[in-house]
Amino acid sequence: MFRTTNEAINYGLLAGTKDRRRLAELRKEFIGQTDRALDRGQLDLASMFATQAQFCREALEAEILDARVSEMFQRARV
């Protein structure tokens, strides 16, 4: 799915309502997969699912994250 935070944020900034619903559903699925992998002791697999859940969250919160990053860069320039 996503390979980086930047990829997730860029996708989220362009996502429509249907895409945002899909991301929310995928996030729930990834969280469930993480829990099931942890129950089986499959830590590598659990970390992969957890990372994808995090990327989905970042895509869903893209506008907020983008604004925070812009604000940090503005402060650094001053």
Q: Give me the domain span that covers residue 20.
A: 5-77
Give tens-digit pLDDT for 2-48. Answer: 999 999 999 999 999 999 999 999 999 999 999 999 999 999 999 99
Q: Domain count for the chain, please give it.
A: 1
In angstroms, rounded to a whole number, what is the distance separating the alpha carbons of residues 25 and 60?
11
Length of the chain, in residues = 78
Q: b vs e for 40-56, b when ≥16 Cβ sit within 10 Å of the residue's Cβ?
A: eeeeeebeebbebbbbb
pLDDT tier at 77 (50, 70, 90 boundaries)?
A: confident
In angstroms, rounded to a whole number, what is the distance separating the alpha carbons of residues 29 and 27?
5
Is the entire prediction scored with pTM above 0.85?
Answer: no
